[in-house]
Amino acid sequence: MKYYEIQNRILDVYDACGIQAFPFDCHKVLEHYGYRIFTYQQLRETNYRLYCYCCRLSDDAFHYKDLKIVAYDETKLWQRIRFSLMHELGHIILEHTEETPQTEHEANYFASHILVPRMAVYYSGCRNKESIAELFDISLSAAELALDDYKIWYERASKHMSPLDRRMYLHFYNPASKSFVYHVEECFWCCAPVYNFSTKHYSDLDICPKCMIRQIHAKGAVYEQQRHTDEARRRIQIWEEQEVP
């Protein structure tokens, strides 16, 4: 499969799931396609045979198409879990029927690009692996690969914007902010959406366009950290009460 076809499939996912900023909820994306998500521990407790089967196939994550189940090892770092979930989505979207070096490479390519589109790296201003990892909620190793690939994309895109680039730009272009949107947060004070501002990348120039109050880094960072922690906990526990058929 050619890589521009994979990126077109990624844009189809963005359209279907309403993904307009990063990072996004990987669980909700899988749920949109009818998949239920379980941790390996949940499988162990509810269907031991399926748990053993998953563990034999992968240390990270696994999808079972017939039952529409995705399972993952909850003991891994959250950033690695997100990549693994999107790797499994890649197999699903690309309709892989067997595991080969080629299909594994395609699923990795899918996961990397859906989590971190290279155009979003450009507009975010992230130019090192640490800032990419932080903003897009991925591991440092995944961020390093994304950064290297971004440099290749930039060399090409700076000379010619392909139809795929134009589709990507138009998808994330927001008329309200008149800009390519890569991140959205609520104003700490009035809860209005603030585009392309992150408490993790604070700037004294960032002012809420609605209430015109300058974002306070200390309070905003605490708010964001707590929200991120609560959301991660919710994602991991969302299927706690579910049972495998």
Residues 105, 194, single domain; the answer is no
Distances in Å between the alpha carbon of 37 and those of 19, 40, 67, 184, 210? 19, 10, 11, 26, 38
Residue 243 pLDDT more than 60? no
* Domains contained in the chain, number: 2
- For residues 4 and 205, give the distance between their C-alpha atoms in angstroms, rounded to a whole number: 37
Give the pLDDT of residue 220.
43
- Of 107-111, 120-124, 190-194, 213-217, least confident by mean pLDDT is 213-217
- For residues 108 and 129, give the distance between their C-alpha atoms in angstroms, rounded to a whole number: 18
Residues 222, 114, single domain; the answer is no
Bridge partners of 214, per DSSP, are 207
Residues 193 and 175 sit within 8 Å (Cβ to Cβ): no
Residue 219 pLDDT more than 90? no
Residues 121, 214, single domain; the answer is no
Average per-residue pLDDT in the chain?
84
Residues 124, 208, single domain; the answer is no
Residues 168, 184, single domain; the answer is no
- Of 20-34, 118-132, 177-191, least confident by mean pLDDT is 177-191
Q: What average pLDDT score do residues 145-170 get?
A: 94
Residue 124 pLDDT more than 70? yes
- Tell me the three state secondary structure of residue 43: helix
Give the pLDDT of residue 59.
82
Residues 77, 134, single domain; the answer is yes
- Residue 32: pLDDT band (50, 70, 90) is very high
- For residues 202 and 31, give the distance between their C-alpha atoms in angstroms, rounded to a whole number: 33
Residue 209 pLDDT more than 80? no
Give the pLDDT of residue 233.
47
- For residues 84 and 238, give the distance between their C-alpha atoms in angstroms, rounded to a whole number: 17
Burial environment of residue 9 by CB neighbours within 10 A (0 to 12, 13 to 18, 19 or more): middle
Q: Is residue 236 part of a domain?
A: no
Give the pLDDT of residue 186.
80
Q: Is residue 81 part of a domain?
A: yes
Burial environment of residue 166 by CB neighbours within 10 A (0 to 12, 13 to 18, 19 or more): exposed
Residues in the chain: 245
Residues 214, 95, single domain; the answer is no
Burial call 203-233: b when 16+ CB within 10 Å, e when fewer = eeebebeeeeeebeeeebbeebeeeeeeeee
Give the pLDDT of residue 155.
93
Residues 8, 117, single domain; the answer is yes
- Tell me the three state secondary structure of residue 220: helix
- Residue 238: pLDDT band (50, 70, 90) is very low
Residue 204 pLDDT more than 50? no
Domain limits for position 209: 173-228
From the centroid of its chain, how far is CA 201?
18
Residue with tokens 């959250």: 78
User: Which pTM value belongs to this model?
Assistant: 0.82
Q: Is residue 99 part of a domain?
A: yes
Alpha helices in the chain (DSSP H): 3-17, 26-32, 40-46, 48-57, 78-93, 101-115, 118-124, 129-136, 140-157, 163-172, 217-237
Residues 108, 204, single domain; the answer is no
- Tell me the three state secondary structure of residue 67: coil
Q: What average pLDDT score do residues 53-77 get?
A: 88
Q: Is residue 19 part of a domain?
A: yes
Residue 152 pLDDT more than 60? yes
Give the pLDDT of residue 20.
96
Residue 149 pLDDT more than 70? yes
- Residue 213: pLDDT band (50, 70, 90) is low
Residue 159 pLDDT more than 70? yes
Bridge partners of 207, per DSSP, are 214
Residue 217 pLDDT more than 50? no
